[in-house]
């Protein structure tokens, strides 16, 4: 019998309930004691099977709930992992950006452009990697670069 053709627990419970009612009715209608006892035993058996099927149905519901909770926990863990990866990537990008800005202005870095062409760091209120306030520091870099340019021009005259 394929799995799709198997009766559900609910269908089995209803069948046992009907069987129990039918056997009790036949036990009441029986004239002979032996026949009445036989129907009563069948009714008790149907009642017992129905109770077991109710227990099975409850266990199935609990298993479904547990599977749902486990899946929810798994998705929560995946979300936390993705958030951690995202934060780590954001830090790496900020550190790389900060490193690039520093190297871009460093005349001793291999392949660096001339100091006049490199310019100062971007003026930002904070360093993207560390979050430290850098606006004044960057302004000082601009002023130092302007002063160095003025001194070079004076020396050339």
Backbone phi and psi for residue 106, each to the nearest 5 degrees, phi listed first: -85, 110
Residue 128's pLDDT is what?
Answer: 60
Spatial separation of the C-alpha atoms in residues 7 and 15, rounded to whole Å: 10
Express each pLDDT in 20-59 by its tens digit: 888 888 888 888 888 888 888 888 888 888 888 888 888 8
Secondary structure class of 110 (helix, strand, coil):
coil
Give the domain ranges of the chain. 7-105
- Output the pTM of the full model: 0.34
**In sequence order, what are the beta bridge partners of 126?**
133
* Percent of the chain at pLDDT exceeding 90: 14
Better pLDDT: 3 or 77: 77
């Amino acid at each position: 019998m394929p799995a799709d053709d198997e009766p559900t627990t609910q269908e089995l419970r209803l069948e046992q309930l009907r069987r129990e009612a039918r056997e009790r009715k036949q036990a009441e209608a029986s004239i002979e004691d032996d026949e009445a006892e036989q129907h009563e035993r069948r009714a008790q058996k149907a009642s017992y099977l129905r109770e077991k099927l109710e227990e099975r149905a409850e266990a199935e519901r609990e298993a479904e709930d547990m599977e749902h909770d486990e899946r929810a926990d798994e998705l929560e863990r995946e979300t936390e992992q993705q958030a951690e990866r995202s934060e780590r990537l954001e830090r790496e990008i900020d550190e790389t950006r900060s490193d690039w800005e520093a190297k871009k202005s460093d005349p001793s870095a291999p392949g660096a452009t001339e100091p006049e062409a490199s310019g100062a760091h971007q003026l930002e209120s904070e360093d993207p990697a560390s979050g430290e306030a850098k606006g004044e520091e960057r302004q000082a870099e601009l002023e130092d670069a302007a002063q160095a340019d003025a001194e070079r021009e004076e020396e050339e005259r």
